[in-house]
Structure 1
Amino acid sequence: MDTLPDQAPVVLVTGAARRVGAEIARLLHAAGARLVLHYRRSAPEAEALAATLNRSRSNSAATVQADLCDSAALERTVAVALERFGRLDGLVNNASSFFRTPLGSIDQAAWQELVGSNFQGPLFLAQAAAPHLRASGGAIVNITDVHAERPLRGYPVYSAAKAGLLGLTRALAIELAPRVRVNAVAPGAVDWPENDQDFPPEERQAIIAHTLLQRIGTPMDIARTVRFLLFDAPYITGQVINVDGGRTAQL
């Protein structure tokens, strides 16, 4: 990316402190972007990542803390990007909560957490970012899930929230056209949840056996697709790319 430092694109990545979000941030930074790294609770990890990126290229990364369920905080999050870098070219809605909610156990707290992080937050962030993305001709990439279209048993609220984000992706592509492109990446089995109870070993093996490539994906698989949609896909909008090793081909 042949741009001067003060002209390099600025991308806000939510949930950027750890796991897939951190890999997305590192790859976008390597592609020349300046980054605003959002986190909710992972302050040490976010600050360490920003420090690493800034050592590589000075004044190229900043951090911001916000709860995605707090709409006012999301407006401030976008304001941080503008205050620090003067522009906004991309938004990656990666942050997500994920836990079981079997029917009969769903309560308002679970609803608010799952819908807030997976659907409400991306909506209000996109709304706050929209004027600035229109000004720059920017792009949004939402991280959905293959289970947005094929719900996962035991996870009805999560699946429904991701389905909402999938619909929002297409709706925003219409609302923000022609200046802003909006697409989604739908991961399959990538970077297992840290809680082993979510997918015990036998369930993990069953998922791998049902995946055409016979292995799980990596955070880099998702990061590469995000980079493509942000920087190398000027005629793609309103689309969802499944990065799932072929799992959905036979679900």
Structure 2
Amino acid sequence: MHSNQQNVALVTGSAKRLGRKMIETLHHAGYRVIIHCHQSIDAANALAKRLNQKRPNSAKVVSANLLEPQQIKALAAASLACFNRIDVLVNNASSFYPTPIATASQANWHDLVGSNVQAPYFLSQALVPELTKHNGVIINMVDIHADKPLQEYSIYCMAKAALKMMTKSLARELAPTVRVNGIAPGAILWPSEGAPALAEHEKAAILQQIPLNRLGDPTDIAQTLLFLVQAPYITGQIIAVDGGRSLGGANKA
């Protein structure tokens, strides 16, 4: 592949956790990658440095607050300037926390709807002309709770349900040139530092709901992403990567 012909993938929220694994997997598969972050700039730069040591000029970092509409257009332009092309957009950045109806605020709404629906929509809009040039792909990180609500997470679940419909709507609207699919993770990683830790009995209760009886791994999500990016006849689909959790029902003891 001539260096200018190498495909380029932008993954939002990709300095850490699931996003980082997606970046590493795409890079390993030969993609040039654009790591987007908001506050995790040190982690993003360290990841880019590591990938560029493996393959020079193959990873770049862009920073933007996805809740600011002006910054979304700037992010699209900055991302395009990295390698002068974009073939894959992964809308991964997402806020996630409970919002009990009694205490939910406008600020919670702005953050959860902003990160999970508004930013993916307007970033997709900004990059559609470029993606169209290259028969590109948009992958949205949905959630199994877009269908089955998680107790006290109404705003988050509503936002993910909207993202699921966006995936299907844009798959129709952007066909046949741009494919749009989604991935719905189940329980992959326990909450990160800074989030409330789960007690052991809470973890056990979650595992009880998973037929495969174990947490997934970020690799499970990243491999599904790679499959969807390279599956030319799949569009408008959301694949649950959840160990069977969305089938419902607890395991037999």
TM-score, with structure 1 as normaliser: 0.96
By how many angstroms is 1:115 displaced? Answer: 0.6
Letter in 1 for 2:96: F
1:38-187 alignment, distance < 5 Å: 38-187=36-185
Partner of 1:219: 218
Q: CA-atom RMSD, angstroms?
A: 1.1
Deviation track 1:107-128 (CA, whole Å, cap 9, x = no partner) reads 0111111111111110011000
Aligned equivalents of 1:83, 1:60: Cα separation in 2: 13
Aligned equivalents of 2:203, 2:238: Cα separation in 1: 24
Q: Is the aligned partner of 1:35 residue 2:36?
A: no
Deviation track 1:63-96 (CA, whole Å, cap 9, x = no partner) reads 1111111122111111122212111100000111
Letter in 1 for 2:191: P
By how many angstroms is 1:160 displaced? Answer: 0.6
Letter in 2 for 1:23: K
Identical pairs, percent: 47
Deviation track 1:25-71 (CA, whole Å, cap 9, x = no partner) reads 00000000011110011000000001111111111111111111112
Letter in 2 for 1:215: R
| Runs ≥4 residues deviating over 2 A | 195-201
Q: How many residue pairs end up in the alignment?
A: 248
Partner of 1:192: 190
TM-score, with structure 2 as normaliser: 0.95
Structure 1 unaligned blocks of 5 or more? none
Maintained 8 Å contact 1:146/1:186: yes
